[in-house]
Amino acid sequence: MITIGMDLGTQKVKAVALKDGAVVGRGQSFAGFDPAQAAEHAVNDALNVAGLKLSDINHFTATGSAMDLAPHTNSTVSMMGADAKAGVFLIPQARTIIDVGAEEARAVKCDERGLMMEFVVNERCAAGAGAFIEAMARALEVNLEDMGPLSLQAERASPINASCVIFGESDVVSLIHRQESKPEIARAVFDAMADRVTSMVHRLGITPEVVLIGGVAKDPGFVASLNRKLGLMVQIPVYPDYVGALGAALTAAARAKGAFK
Amino acid sequence: MNKNETVERRYLPEISRKEIDELKNTVKVSSQKIIADNIERMKKADPHRPDAMKYFDDIANLFGRRQQEIQAEKEKGKKVIGYLCLFAPTELISAADAIPIRVNSGWYDTSKLGDRVVPVEVCPVIRSTIGAKMIELSPFLEQSDALISVLTCDGMTKLSEILSDQKTIWGMNVPRIKDSTQSLRFWSDEIRHMKTQIETFTGNKITRNSLKEAITVSHRATKVFRRLQELRKGNPVIMGRDAMLVNQAYTWDDKKRWTEKTEALCDELEKRVQQKDWVCNSDTPRVMLTGTPMFWPDSWKLPTLVEEGNPQGIIVADEQCSGERILSDPIGVDEWSMDDMLNAISERYLMASTCPCFTSKDGNEDRINWLLNKVKEWNVQGVIYYVIRGCMLYAMEYSRVKKALDKINVPVYYLDTEYTREDVGQLKTRVEAFMELLNARVDF
């Protein structure tokens, strides 16, 4: 049984090839202006790594905000459904899964079968998501990947408002004018984001284990802030940005077997 | 009285006739397109749509037949009394031989115009109604000779003040604590005062007979409405959007004709039940809507997403003041004396309401009971808690509703939106994920 899961996110498209319950290939590409084309690239990369051809695939399942544009699709699954399935597949004790992507943060409560029981999504604003870090990195004139390590050097926290990217940016500018150091401002950015994500997760209720996935899970600065705000250590799988695509691939496998709709 | 000329505008901006006409034409064209599009999609959703829906499709055109009928009545000297909230005692209006009509606005475009007068944080129902007045878009609002505004929330309170720049407004003070005798006494006085006001304004005395007749008309409508709701308890025989349109059209249609047409619809649906002619698979998740009102036509956004989703859901019930609350409860008259009828009207409009503007010693427990009862009787599998931004009361009551539904293990999803059309993509993701969640629960 070979399936492909595609996650057409707002910034990147990820693909995972799954063979008999094991990941055999991954690929990703910038979504850009043509997410369908990007998905083709990601799928080809995953197939190349796995040494497979398109014709070997039993079932394609797409997820992500642009899932309706995905090529080859046999079925689709919601992002929350995919997160729950793959989260529990990777970390069987996972019951709360937090997914922080480029434009959206969400949290899913799931059961031991990897079925989503409940979910919450951040309000229509990217302040709790990856795009916020990007905007703030620009304001601080540092590289995106340096934001996390920089924030870890901070000695104290300066609060900013992350109710909105635009307001957040003007708060950051005020901190710059107050001549706060870059590490402190970077820490303020992650703390503000983590605050938003934490209140969102509290609306759902926190059931351990808590797993963090999505591209932002790769940022050590955000992870440190989130652990502090949640008062626990989130677990992070090895490829946090591929979890959605893996969930789609697992759904594809279940559907190919006719297990559920 | 033409308030336009006599009263200084305290809120509304001066707009030139030219701009009003231009904006009105643009918005009207876009609104007619949305109405047509909504109906087209409703037709597509149910290829065997009941014939009786044709009437409601026609009446759904807010710029069509009903507007002309009311105009003709006005020319014969009838008064039109608009209302902005379900607490307005429409039977008193009918009993004075005037036409009651609800004038809350469901247009997205006019909500953007309302932003010129009030901040965007204000609830879109209010902003949209202000915008509609500014460009004279709403036929029913324009045709109203006076408006009853019930001061249920902050938005409604100030809206009546804003509209009073151009309209005769009668405010009704609603008590916020529902279960006290002094509240009912107070409200009962408001109702009696409204009776006098309507009589003076129309020049028509409300008599025992005319009020009895008006209440009887309401009773018949409630009876047929309940028949329609009864039909939604079993396998789906009508799409939720169709039932919602029928339900809401009552607020602008002729009451007697509405009742006849809804009877005809029910007759047709009953035949379908016998023929086991369902509108969707019996395992389609059964959804109830609760929360802020969904006014035709722009607020059809969410019901459309539910019923056209992948996976699909079917709306079987709601607890909204734009929906079932309009007709759910009859006026309980014991003896047909004037006093008894007025008391019965007072009780019906106050006690039966589950609006979150109320509290009582048990909080707004009536609403919780309504929801739990609906879930059980209509076999609801999931609840969408719909909040248009700016409605504090509904937003704040969510935690309690969620706890109550958690207890009986029924999933509820809090969906916040606006009148905007631009967030459909994001809403689709959420609604479909919720439908998937409901499906998964059925599968296992």
Q: Which of B311, B429, B441 sits opposite A79 (nearest CB)?
A: B429
Average pLDDT over residues B398-412: 96
Check A119 against B311: CB less than 8 A apart.
no
Closest-CA distance, A249 to chain B, in angstroms, reads 17
Q: Which of A65, A123, A261 sits opposite B429 (nearest CB)?
A: A65
Q: What is the DSSP string of B243-278?
A: HHHHHHHTTTS-HHHHHHHHHHHHHHHHHHHHTT--
Average pLDDT over residues B38-53: 96
Nearest CA in chain B to A65: B429
**pLDDT tops 80 at residue A127:** no
Per DSSP bridges, beta strands B382-388 and B314-319 are unpaired
**pLDDT tops 90 at residue B422:** no
Check B440 against A120: CB less than 8 A apart.
no
Angle value at C-alpha B246, between B151 and B314, nearest 5 degrees: 100
User: Are the CB atoms for A93 and A87 separated by under 8 Å?
Assistant: no
Residue pLDDT, tens place only, B117-139: 999 999 999 999 999 999 999 99
Weakest mean pLDDT among A188-192, B78-82, B155-159: A188-192
The neighbouring-strand residues paired with A98 are: A107, A212
CA separation for the pair A116, B409 (Å, rounded): 14
Q: Write out the residue range of the structural domain in which residue B177 sits.
A: 3-355+362-443
Residue pLDDT, tens place only, B92-122: 999 999 999 999 999 999 999 999 999 999 9
The closest of A45, A44, A43, A1 to A19, measured between CA atoms, is A1
**pLDDT tops 90 at residue B9:** no
Check A115 against B444: CB less than 8 A apart.
yes
Check B437 against A65: CB less than 8 A apart.
no
- CB-based contacts of B92: which residues, under 8 Å, 6+ apart? B191, B194, B195, B198, B206, B211, B214, B345
pLDDT at A261: 46
Check A65 against B440: CB less than 8 A apart.
no
Q: Using the Cα atoms of residue B135, residue B140, residue B145 and residue B150 in order, give the sign of their dihedral.
A: negative
Average pLDDT over residues A243-247: 98
Residue pLDDT, tens place only, A164-206: 667 777 888 888 898 889 999 999 999 988 988 998 999 899 9
Give me the torsion for CA of A212, A215, A216, A219, rounded to 10°. 100
Mean pLDDT value across chain B: 95
- Domains of chain A, CATH where assigned: 1-91+240-261 (3.30.420.40), 93-236 (3.30.420.40)
Check B436 against A65: CB less than 8 A apart.
no
The neighbouring-strand residues paired with B315 are: B287
A 104-123: CB under 8 A from B: 113, 115-121, 123
pTM here?
A: 0.92
Residue pLDDT, tens place only, B316-362: 999 999 999 999 999 999 999 999 999 999 999 999 999 999 999 99
**pLDDT tops 70 at residue B2:** no
Q: Is the Cβ of A250 closer than 8 Å to some Cβ of chain B?
A: no
Per DSSP bridges, beta strands A2-8 and A12-19 are antiparallel
Q: Which of A78, A123, A261 sits opposite B433 (nearest CB)?
A: A78
Residue pLDDT, tens place only, A202-240: 989 999 999 999 999 999 999 999 999 999 999 999 999
Q: Is the Cβ of A76 closer than 8 Å to some Cβ of chain B?
A: yes
Check B433 against A260: CB less than 8 A apart.
no
Residue pLDDT, tens place only, A30-62: 999 999 999 999 999 999 999 999 999 999 999
Residues composing chain B: 444
Percent share of chain B, pLDDT over 70:
98
**pLDDT tops 90 at residue B203:** yes
Sheet of B382-388: strand order equals: B314-319, B286-291, B382-388, B412-417
Check A123 against B416: CB less than 8 A apart.
yes
Query: Based on the number of CB atoms within 10 Å of its own CB, is A177 exposed (0-12), middle (13-18) or buried (19 or more)?
Result: exposed
pLDDT at A168: 75
Task: List helix spans (H) across B78-232.
Answer: 90-95, 108-114, 124-134, 139-143, 154-163, 181-202, 208-231
Q: Which residues of chain A does B437 touch, with a Cβ-Cβ cutoff of 8 Å?
A: 80-81, 115-119
- CB-based contacts of A259: which residues, under 8 Å, 6+ apart? none
Check B310 against A119: CB less than 8 A apart.
no
Check A113 against B429: CB less than 8 A apart.
no
CA separation for the pair B255, B175 (Å, rounded): 28
Peptide bond into A209 cis (omega under 30): yes
pLDDT at B1: 46
Check B437 against A77: CB less than 8 A apart.
no
Q: Which residues of chain B does A77 touch, with a Cβ-Cβ cutoff of 8 Å?
A: 436
**pLDDT tops 60 at residue B43:** yes
Q: Is the Cβ of A73 closer than 8 Å to some Cβ of chain B?
A: no
Q: Which residues of chain A does B416 touch, with a Cβ-Cβ cutoff of 8 Å?
A: 123
pLDDT at B282: 92
Q: Which of A79, A118, A121 sits opposite B411 (nearest CB)?
A: A118
pLDDT at B419: 94
Please, how many CA atoms are within 13 Å of residue A84, restricted to the half-sphere of its CB? Answer: 24
**What six digits make up the tokens of B314?**
């079917």
**What six digits make up the tokens of A206?**
């926190």
**pLDDT tops 80 at residue B296:** yes
**What six digits make up the tokens of A149?**
């390590």
Angle value at C-alpha B116, between B111 and B122, nearest 5 degrees: 55
Residue from A74, A104, A121, A207 whose CB has the most chain B CBs within 10 Å, to mutate:
A121
User: Are the CB atoms for B311 and B439 separated by under 8 Å?
Assistant: yes
Inter-helix orientation angle A79-90/B424-443, to 10°: 50
pLDDT at B25: 97
User: Are the CB atoms for A225 and A111 separated by under 8 Å?
Assistant: no
Q: Which residues of chain A does B443 touch, with a Cβ-Cβ cutoff of 8 Å?
A: 260-261
CA separation for the pair B101, B149 (Å, rounded): 12
- CB-based contacts of B411: which residues, under 8 Å, 6+ apart? A117, A118, B381, B382, B383, B405, B434, B437, B438, B441
Task: Please state, in angstroms and as integers, the Cα–Cα distance from residue B339 to each residue in B178, B189, B200, B210, B336, following that order.
Answer: 21, 12, 19, 14, 8
Q: How many domains does the structure of chain B reveal? A: 1
pLDDT at B292: 97
Sheet of A59-63: strand order equals: A22-30, A12-19, A2-8, A59-63, A75-76
**What six digits make up the tokens of B103?**
């004038």
Q: What is the DSSP string of A141-208?
A: T--HHHHHHHHHT-SS------S-HHHHHHHHHHHHHTT--HHHHHHHHHHHHHHHHHHHHHHH---S
**What six digits make up the tokens of A169?**
């940016």
Give me the torsion for CA of A63, A68, A70, A75, rounded to 10°. 60
CA separation for the pair B139, B262 (Å, rounded): 24
